[in-house]
Structure 1
Amino acid sequence: MSSIISGLLLYNQFLLKQIRQLLLFIVRNIPLKGPKQDIYSPKYCKHTVDRLPFIKQPEKLDYKQLLREYSSQHGKELKPVKSRGGSPVSADVTCHRCGAPHTYLYDNTGGRGQLWCKVCGLRFSKVKSDFKIGALVCPYCGRILDKKKQRKSFNIHKCVNKKCSFYLNSLKKLSPEDLEEYKKDPYKFKLHYIYREFTTNFFEVDLNTMPKGSASLRFRDFSPHVLGLCMTYLVNLGLSTRATARALWEIHGVRISHVTVSKYAKSAAALVQPFVDSYDYKPTTYLAADETYIKVKGIKHYVWFVMDALKKSILGYRVSSSRDVGPCILAMRMAFAKFKEFPGMALRFAADGYTAYKLAQQQFMLNDMDFVLIQIIGLTNDDPVSLEYRWLKQIIERLNRTFKFSYQVTNGYGSGEGSDTHVALFVAYYNFLRPHSYTYWEPLNSIPELAAIPTMPAKWQKLIELSQQLILSKQLA
Structure 2
Amino acid sequence: MSTIISILVTYNQLLLSQINQLLIFIAKNIPLKAPKYDMTSPKYKKLTVDKLPIIKTFKKLDYKQMLKEYKIADGKDKKPVNPRGKNPVAPDTVCPRCDAPHNYIYDNAGGRGQLCCKVCDLHFSKNKVDLKTELFICPFCGHALSKKKDRKHFFVHKCVNKKCDFYLNSLAKLSLEDLEEYKKDKHKFKLHYIYREFTTDFFDVDLYSMPKGATSLKFRNFSSHVMGLCLTYNVNLGLSTRRTALALWEIHGVKISHVMVSRYAITAAAMVKPFVDNYDYKPTNYLSADETYTKVKGVHQYIWFVMDAIKKSILGYQASFTRDTGPCILTMRMAFDKFKEFPGKSLKFIADGYTAYKLAQQQFNLNGFDFDVTQVIGLTNSDPVSTEYRWVKQIIERLNRTFKFSYRVTNGFGSEEGSNTHLALFVAYYNFLRPHSYAYWGPLNSIPEIEKISTMPGKWQKLIQLSQHLILEKQLA
TM-score, with length taken from structure 1: 0.88
Judge conservation of contact 1:92–1:102 (CA < 8 Å) in 2: yes
Aligned residue number for residue 410 of structure 2 = 410
Deviation string 1:226-274 (CA, Å, 9 cap, x unpaired) is 1111010000001100010000111111110000000000000000010
Judge conservation of contact 1:129–1:135 (CA < 8 Å) in 2: no
Aligned residue number for residue 311 of structure 2 = 311
CA distance in 2, matches of 1:235, 1:122: 64
Task: Say whether 1:376 aligns with 2:386.
Answer: no
The 1:102–1:266 alpha-carbon spacing in structure 2 relative to 1, beyond 3 Å, is same
Aligned residue number for residue 437 of structure 1 = 437
The 1:74–1:435 alpha-carbon spacing in structure 2 relative to 1, beyond 3 Å, is closer
Equivalent position SS for 1:386: helix
How far off its partner does 1:79 sit? 2.9
The 1:306–1:158 alpha-carbon spacing in structure 2 relative to 1, beyond 3 Å, is same
The 1:35–1:236 alpha-carbon spacing in structure 2 relative to 1, beyond 3 Å, is closer
Deviation string 1:149-208 (CA, Å, 9 cap, x unpaired) is 111111111111111111111111111221122122211111111111111111111112
Aligned residue number for residue 3 of structure 1 = none
Equivalent position SS for 1:46: helix
Aligned residue number for residue 77 of structure 1 = 77
Aligned residue number for residue 267 of structure 1 = 267
The 1:450–1:47 alpha-carbon spacing in structure 2 relative to 1, beyond 3 Å, is same
CA distance in 1, matches of 2:181, 2:92: 46
How far off its partner does 1:276 sit? 0.6
Aligned residue number for residue 420 of structure 1 = 420
How far off its partner does 1:218 sit? 1.1
TM-score, with length taken from structure 2: 0.88
CA distance in 2, matches of 1:140, 1:128: 29
How far off its partner does 1:312 sit? 0.3
CA distance in 2, matches of 1:214, 1:65: 58
Task: Say whether 1:212 aligns with 2:212.
Answer: yes
Judge conservation of contact 1:46–1:190 (CA < 8 Å) in 2: yes
Aligned residue number for residue 156 of structure 2 = 156
CA distance in 2, matches of 1:199, 1:210: 26
- The one-letter amino acid paired with 1:382 is S
Between 393-402 and 61-70, report the one with greater CA deviation.
Answer: 61-70
How far off its partner does 1:68 sit? 3.4
- The one-letter amino acid paired with 1:102 is H
Aligned residue number for residue 202 of structure 1 = 202
- The one-letter amino acid paired with 2:281 is Y
Aligned length: 451
Aligned residue number for residue 469 of structure 2 = 469
CA distance in 2, matches of 1:269, 1:88: 69
- The one-letter amino acid paired with 1:424 is A
The 1:314–1:38 alpha-carbon spacing in structure 2 relative to 1, beyond 3 Å, is closer
How far off its partner does 1:316 sit? 0.5
CA distance in 1, matches of 2:96, 2:308: 49
How far off its partner does 1:217 sit? 1.7
The 1:101–1:42 alpha-carbon spacing in structure 2 relative to 1, beyond 3 Å, is farther
Equivalent position SS for 2:203: coil
CA distance in 2, matches of 1:152, 1:212: 25
Aligned residue number for residue 400 of structure 1 = 400
CA distance in 2, matches of 1:173, 1:304: 35
CA distance in 2, matches of 1:246, 1:209: 33
CA distance in 2, matches of 1:464, 1:203: 29
How far off its partner does 1:86 sit? 3.2
Aligned residue number for residue 53 of structure 1 = 53
How far off its partner does 1:129 sit? 9.0
Aligned residue number for residue 329 of structure 2 = 329
- The one-letter amino acid paired with 2:274 is P
CA distance in 2, matches of 1:127, 1:285: 53
Aligned residue number for residue 10 of structure 1 = none
CA distance in 2, matches of 1:69, 1:230: 76
Deviation string 1:113-158 (CA, Å, 9 cap, x unpaired) is 4434333555566678998542111111222211111111111111
Deviation string 1:328-368 (CA, Å, 9 cap, x unpaired) is 11111111111111111111111111111111111111110
Aligned residue number for residue 3 of structure 2 = none
CA distance in 1, matches of 2:221, 2:403: 32
Judge conservation of contact 1:232–1:456 (CA < 8 Å) in 2: yes
Aligned residue number for residue 11 of structure 1 = none
CA distance in 2, matches of 1:105, 1:290: 56
Deviation string 1:379-406 (CA, Å, 9 cap, x unpaired) is 1111111111011100000000011110
Task: Say whether 1:247 aligns with 2:247.
Answer: yes
- The one-letter amino acid paired with 1:224 is S
* Alignment root-mean-square deviation, CA: 2.6
Task: Say whether 1:367 aligns with 2:348.
Answer: no
Which runs of no fewer than 5 residues in structure 1 stay unpaired? 1-27
- The one-letter amino acid paired with 1:326 is G
Judge conservation of contact 1:345–1:372 (CA < 8 Å) in 2: yes
Equivalent position SS for 2:47: coil
Aligned residue number for residue 144 of structure 1 = 144
Judge conservation of contact 1:104–1:119 (CA < 8 Å) in 2: yes
How far off its partner does 1:95 sit? 4.6
Judge conservation of contact 1:96–1:132 (CA < 8 Å) in 2: no
CA distance in 2, matches of 1:386, 1:34: 15
CA distance in 1, matches of 2:58, 2:378: 44
CA distance in 1, matches of 2:141, 2:159: 9
Aligned residue number for residue 193 of structure 2 = 193
The 1:351–1:361 alpha-carbon spacing in structure 2 relative to 1, beyond 3 Å, is same
Equivalent position SS for 2:305: strand
Between 105-114 and 253-262, report the one with greater CA deviation.
Answer: 105-114
Aligned residue number for residue 357 of structure 1 = 357
Aligned residue number for residue 452 of structure 1 = 452
Which runs of no fewer than 5 residues in structure 2 stay unpaired? 1-22, 24-29
How far off its partner does 1:470 sit? 1.0
How far off its partner does 1:109 sit? 2.3
The 1:92–1:148 alpha-carbon spacing in structure 2 relative to 1, beyond 3 Å, is farther
CA distance in 2, matches of 1:32, 1:79: 71
CA distance in 1, matches of 2:179, 2:270: 57
User: Which residues in structure 2 correspond to 1:24-43 (within 5 Å)?
Assistant: 38-43=38-43
User: Which residues in structure 2 correspond to 1:276-315 (within 5 Å)?
Assistant: 276-315=276-315
CA distance in 1, matches of 2:173, 2:381: 24
